[in-house]
């Protein structure tokens, strides 16, 4: 569990308490420009700020950092989020072997020790660590000599789930559920994939440009070799370090950032030009935009979300892509207007969830995991899926999807709702994805990812259902 402490004043750079201001590498900046900023952002992240927001706050004031330095600081912060449990356990074991306890250092110094341990895992030698932060290295004599020489006593997990959780920095309760659902070998595969990095995956607006033509254009104008996604006919994959938001293709709306799994969720809707489709939980609208493209900017895509700010972002993205067939409803989908009841050809319920399948892209999500959410989400997810039955016409389709790897949020919700309301029944994905996926994947539901390869999809679940009035 991350240390909790009061936030530092916003003007602080090193995020070190006043008592440490004389220490080597404190607010004076003697850790170096990159490490000072990484430490500041890491402390904010451990206080509950998202890693993205923490880095944005720091970079907004760090005008002296160039792109390479910002990337280096980001790598340290995201790497710490991805590895925190393992690093803390390793530090505890190493400190105990020296006869010391980590409780003897304050939160800021402990975070410096964590960052040094991360760098040791990345291959830094003791001498390099000593050069980067001599004050922190000296706080517990002998600590980093042990860590860098491999003389840390081994961990002693009490269960298979704990062993996997320690290795891949996931909570035991999550791993225990994965082991119960899929067995220990598959649970470890999932854990390993969730701890990796994801490629940059784009969705091409194939209504306006062909995928192969765009791959050729990227090679010609940006000197980058893109590759098509393995399953989705809409996607292309770029190396993980590429930043596309400044590209003309992005500004023109020809491409958008979207994981391959998310693209397949949109394709599973079977949306056709002229349809009326509902995106019940649109958020910032990635799947709404994909549906608008598949419908060739015709018909109606009606997007619900109670967060007006997210819908404003959706509208901004729609304008960039020149879509005019999108309507927004700033309300909970549970308050479906009577005029829309039974009118939709298809409804997408991309339900709020733990997000456990997207930890590659949001590694700090593991710091905010709450086991209680696993029991709270299914009730909300079932309520939204039941409401979708009222919104879709008889014979219309409902796609239920999450970016969770947990059975309770996926198969469990679908089974519960189908037992509750006989108007909804599972149908084969061959109906909408028959020309996209291999026959072995065309059941009524599908799990995608996470991984195992970097270019493979995040962890998604989707189920195709049909309203049948008896």
Catalogue the active-site residues.
403
Joined tokens for residue 217: 């254009």
Joined tokens for residue 64: 């002296």
Yes or no: say if 77 and 70 are a contact pair by the CB < 8 Å rule: no
CA 234 distance to own-chain centroid: 20
Beta carbons within 8 Å of 419's beta carbon, 6+ residues apart: none
Give kind and range of the element (H or E) at residue 109: helix 107-121
> If you count them, how many residues does the chain have?
470
Whole-angstrom distance, CA of residue 278 vs CA of residue 391: 8
Using alpha carbons only, what angle is made at residue 371 by residues 447 and 197, rounded to the nearest 5 degrees?
50
Give kind and range of the element (H or E) at residue 94: helix 67-97
Q: Whose CA is closest to 405, among 177, 132, 183?
A: 177
Whole-angstrom distance, CA of residue 210 vs CA of residue 382: 38
Yes or no: say if 227 and 237 are a contact pair by the CB < 8 Å rule: yes
Neighbours of 362 (CB within 10 A): 18
Give kind and range of the element (H or E) at residue 201: strand 200-204
**Residue whose token pair is 């397949």:** 264
Residue 204 three-state SS: strand
Q: Whose CA is closest to 241, among 198, 196, 286?
A: 198
**DSSP designation for 335:** G
Query: Taking the alpha carbons of 190, 194, 197, 201 in that order, is the dihedral positive or negative?
Result: positive
Joined tokens for residue 422: 């006989």
φ and ψ at residue 448, rounded to 5 degrees: -120, 135
């Amino acid at each position: 569990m991350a240390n909790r402490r009061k936030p530092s004043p916003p003007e602080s750079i090193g995020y070190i308490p006043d008592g440490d201001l004389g220490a080597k590498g404190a607010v004076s900046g003697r850790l170096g420009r990159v490490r000072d900023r990484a430490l500041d952002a890491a402390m904010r992240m451990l206080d509950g700020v998202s890693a993205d927001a923490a880095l944005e706050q720091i970079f907004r004031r760090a005008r002296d950092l160039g792109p390479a330095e910002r990337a280096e600081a980001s790598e340290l912060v995201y790497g710490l989020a991805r590895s925190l449990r393992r690093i803390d356990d390793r530090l505890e074991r190493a400190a105990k072997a020296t006869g010391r306890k980590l409780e003897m250092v304050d939160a800021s110094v402990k975070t410096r020790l964590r960052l040094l341990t991360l760098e040791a895992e990345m291959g830094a030698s003791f001498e390099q660590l000593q050069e980067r932060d001599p004050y922190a290295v000296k706080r517990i004599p002998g600590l980093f000599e042990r860590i860098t020489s491999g003389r840390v006593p081994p961990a002693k997990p009490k269960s298979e789930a704990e062993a996997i959780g320690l290795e891949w920095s996931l909570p035991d309760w999550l791993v225990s559920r994965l082991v119960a659902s899929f067995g220990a070998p598959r649970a470890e595969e999932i854990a390993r994939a969730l701890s990796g990095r994801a490629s940059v995956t784009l969705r091409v607006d194939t209504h306006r440009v062909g995928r192969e033509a765009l791959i050729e254009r990227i090679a010609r104008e940006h000197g980058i070799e893109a590759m098509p996604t393995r399953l989705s006919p809409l996607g292309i994959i770029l190396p993980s370090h590429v930043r596309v938001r400044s590209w003309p293709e992005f500004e023109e709306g020809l491409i958008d950032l979207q994981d391959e799994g998310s693209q397949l969720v949109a394709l599973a809707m079977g949306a056709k030009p002229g349809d009326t489709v509902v995106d019940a939980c649109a958020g910032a609208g990635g799947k709404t935009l994909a549906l608008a493209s598949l419908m060739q900017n015709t018909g109606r895509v009606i997007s619900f979300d109670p967060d007006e700010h997210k819908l404003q972002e959706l509208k901004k993205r729609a304008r960039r892509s020149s879509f005019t067939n999108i309507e927004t409803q700033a309300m909970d989908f549970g308050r479906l207007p009577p005029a829309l009841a039974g009118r939709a050809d298809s409804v997408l319920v991309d339900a709020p969830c733990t997000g456990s399948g997207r930890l590659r892209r949001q590694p700090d999500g593991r710091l905010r995991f709450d086991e209680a959410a696993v029991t709270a989400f299914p009730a909300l997810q079932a309520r939204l899926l039941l409401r979708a039955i009222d919104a879709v016409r008889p014979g219309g389709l409902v796609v239920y999807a999450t970016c969770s790897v947990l059975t309770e949020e996926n198969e469990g919700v679908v089974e519960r709702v189908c037992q509750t309301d006989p108007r909804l029944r599972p149908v084969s994905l061959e109906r909408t994805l028959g020309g996209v996926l291999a026959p072995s994947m065309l059941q009524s539901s599908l799990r995608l990812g996470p991984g195992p390869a970097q270019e493979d999809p995040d962890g998604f679940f989707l189920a195709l259902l049909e309203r049948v009035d008896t």
